[in-house]
Amino acid sequence: MHRRTSVLRGCTAAHLSSEDAPPHICPQRMHRRTSVLRGCTAAHLSSEDAPPHICTQRMHRRTSVLRGCTAAHLSSEDAPPHICPQRMHRRTSVLRGCTAAHLSSEDAPPHICPQRMHRRTSVLRGCTAAHLSSEDAPPHICPQRMHRRTSVLRGCTAAHLSSEDAPPHICPQMIHSKYNADYDLSAKEGADSLAFISLLEEKLMPALIYTFWVEPKNYVDVTRRWYAEHMPFPFNFFLPGRMQRTQLEKLRLLRGDESLEAGEELEKELFRDATECMNLLSQRLGSQKFFFGDSPSSLDAYVFGHLAPILKSKLPNGKLQQHLKSLDNLTNFCTNILLLYFPRDGRESSSQKTSSQPEGGDFDHVPNKRRKQFMSVLVALGAMLSYALLTGMVSIQHAHQEALEEPPDLQTLRAQDHEEDEEEDG
């Protein structure tokens, strides 16, 4: 700690060597030195020479004057770290903005006081509430996990965070660290959820991609509209199409068929797999509330995430939805989770629906329609202008130029006429 602080203040080598001396051996010397080095007055020095234990308060006050820092910081700094770790932490807040190297050295013995550490790190990094709340999770359960997490969070990019928030199979470290909803599942149940997640990925995912991106009617009427309506102007024209091509490509690779196209046969194959998968899930769920009894796990989240879009979206081609609706327990499972964990969203969407539905689809279309009208007017104007430029405009310009040129000619002519007249008169 001492070495670090000295580095931070940009002290000389002399400072370093003396500061590195164990603080408890000779605090007196230390104090005197620091004061000398900082160019303090004799008065300060004399007060410093006083045995520190007699008048530590004074000392602190003095140093604070010297360094222009607040009393709180200084007092904590000068204290031997092992005596008062709490103060240490407070000090580190001063050091905020130090490099990663410093910070790592700050991650001193976590087993001593992880809680405090966490408080500190949160202060240091000005993290968002989300980070904090996750960091405030009981540290005594798994301090190691916390460390990994904090180290990840430290100056992390959005990518890190998003990967942590992703489903557990994407981030296996999280499963190992048990940082998930499956904390109280037995090992066998954990294995089961892994297996069912694989089942969903292999059987249901292709059908989902097909339903939302490849099936032409659904794509044009629903998916493209969703995306186009929520994208800013120039992107809404080409981004949805691009996304569709990526998804189609993905489906082709998943199926191992290069020339795969939307069609009856493909739809049947995919939907057969998907309905089988739904049936299996339904059988596994049985009459339980969640897949593993009464408390939710990551598998429930995963299943819900894949089934709810099918259940809730109004698609022109709703074969999957029809099948899902015929499986009562899965439908109940989805609505149950919606009610339990998305109470606000559910109400909002329902109120939105009720408010928007009476006014009909026209209301939804208005902004898009205006934009389209505007665009078509622009395009028409552009076409007309270019046509005019190519054909008529040139001659008009020409005529205009002539028109402009004519008057002076006329005037000069007239002037000449006048002159001539005058000459004649004269």
Partner 1 sequence: MSLAADAFVSQISAAEPWPENATLYQPLKEDQILLSDCASSLAVQAYLRMCGLPVQVVCRANAEYMSPSGKIPFIHVGNQVVSELGPIVQFTKAKGHSLSDGLDDVQRAEMKAYMELVNNMLLTAELYIQWCDDATATEISRPRYSNPYSWPLSNILAYQKQWEVRRKMNAIGWGGKNLEQVYEDVSQCCQALSQRLGTQPYFFNKQPTELDALVFGHLFTILTTRLTSAELAERIKSNSNLLSFCRRIEQTYFEDKSS
Q: Provide the binding-site residues for partner 1, judged by CB under 8 A.
A: 170, 172, 175, 187-188, 190-192, 194-196, 198-199, 201-203, 249-250, 253-254, 256, 265, 268-269, 272, 276, 280-281, 283-284, 286
Residue 321 CB, shortest distance to partner 1, in Å, is 20
Residue 145 CB, shortest distance to partner 1, in Å, is 17
Residue 75 CB, shortest distance to partner 1, in Å, is 48
Largest CA distance in the chain: 126
Tokens describing residue 215:
């099936």
Kindly tell me which of 111 and 188 has the beta carbon lying closer to partner 1: 188
Residue 279 CB, shortest distance to partner 1, in Å, is 8
Kindly tell me which of 256 and 426 has the beta carbon lying closer to partner 1: 256
Kindly tell me which of 102 and 252 has the beta carbon lying closer to partner 1: 252
Kindly tell me which of 67 and 289 has the beta carbon lying closer to partner 1: 289
Q: Is 129 exposed, middle or buried (0-12, 13-18, 19+ CB in 10 A)?
A: exposed
Kindly tell me which of 123 and 194 has the beta carbon lying closer to partner 1: 194
Q: Is 278 exposed, middle or buried (0-12, 13-18, 19+ CB in 10 A)?
A: buried
> Beta partners for 290?
293
Kindly tell me which of 136 and 276 has the beta carbon lying closer to partner 1: 276
Question: Which DSSP state fits 309?
Answer: H
Residue 239 CB, shortest distance to partner 1, in Å, is 19
Kindly tell me which of 268 and 371 has the beta carbon lying closer to partner 1: 268
| Continuous segment of H or E residues that includes residue 152 | helix 143-153
Sorted by sequence, the CB contacts under 8 Å of residue 248 that are 6+ apart come out as 213, 214, 260
Kindly tell me which of 196 and 219 has the beta carbon lying closer to partner 1: 196
Residue 132 CB, shortest distance to partner 1, in Å, is 29
Residue 265 CB, shortest distance to partner 1, in Å, is 5
Q: Is 243 exposed, middle or buried (0-12, 13-18, 19+ CB in 10 A)?
A: middle
Residue 148 CB, shortest distance to partner 1, in Å, is 15
Q: How far apart are CA 79 and CA 57, in angstroms?
A: 11
Q: How far apart are CA 199 and CA 285, in angstroms?
A: 14
Closest by Cα among 158, 144, 84, 92 to 120: 92
Q: Are 94 and 101 in contact (CB under 8 A)?
A: no
What SS3 class is residue 194? helix
Q: Are 334 and 307 in contact (CB under 8 A)?
A: yes
